[in-house]
Amino acid sequence: NTPDFAVSMLETASGTVVRLTTDFYVSNQTSRQTGIEFHGDLGSLFLESWHNFTCKVQYAEFGQPLEDVPLLRQPSHDRVPWGRGVHELVMALLEDRPQRFSGEQAAHVTDILTAAARSMVDNQPVELTSTFAPPSPLEWAE
**Per-residue model confidence as pLDDT tens digits over 88-111:** 899 999 999 988 888 999 999 999
Indicate the pLDDT class of residue 30, thresholds 50, 70 and 90.
confident
Pick the range with the lowest mean pLDDT from 44-48, 72-76, 92-96, 101-105.
Answer: 72-76
CA contacts within 13 A on the Cβ side of 87: 4
* pLDDT greater than 70 at residue 14: yes
Task: Give mean pLDDT, residues 115-124.
Answer: 94
Q: Phi first, then psi: give them for residue 26, nearest 5 degrees.
A: -85, 125
CB 29 within 8 A of CB 41: no
Burial code of 96-127, b = ≥16 C-beta within 10 A, e = fewer?
Answer: eeebbebeebeebeebbeebbeebeeeeeeee
Indicate the pLDDT class of residue 138, thresholds 50, 70 and 90.
confident
Output the pLDDT for position 126: 96
- Start-end of H helices in 64-124: 84-95, 103-122
Output the pLDDT for position 68: 97
Instruction: Give the separation between CA 23 and CA 10, rounded to whole angstroms.
Output: 17
Output the pLDDT for position 118: 94
* pLDDT greater than 80 at residue 39: yes
Instruction: Give the separation between CA 10 and CA 115, rounded to whole angstroms.
Output: 10
Mean pLDDT score across all residues of the chain = 88
Which residues are 39's β-sheet partners?
44
pTM: 0.76
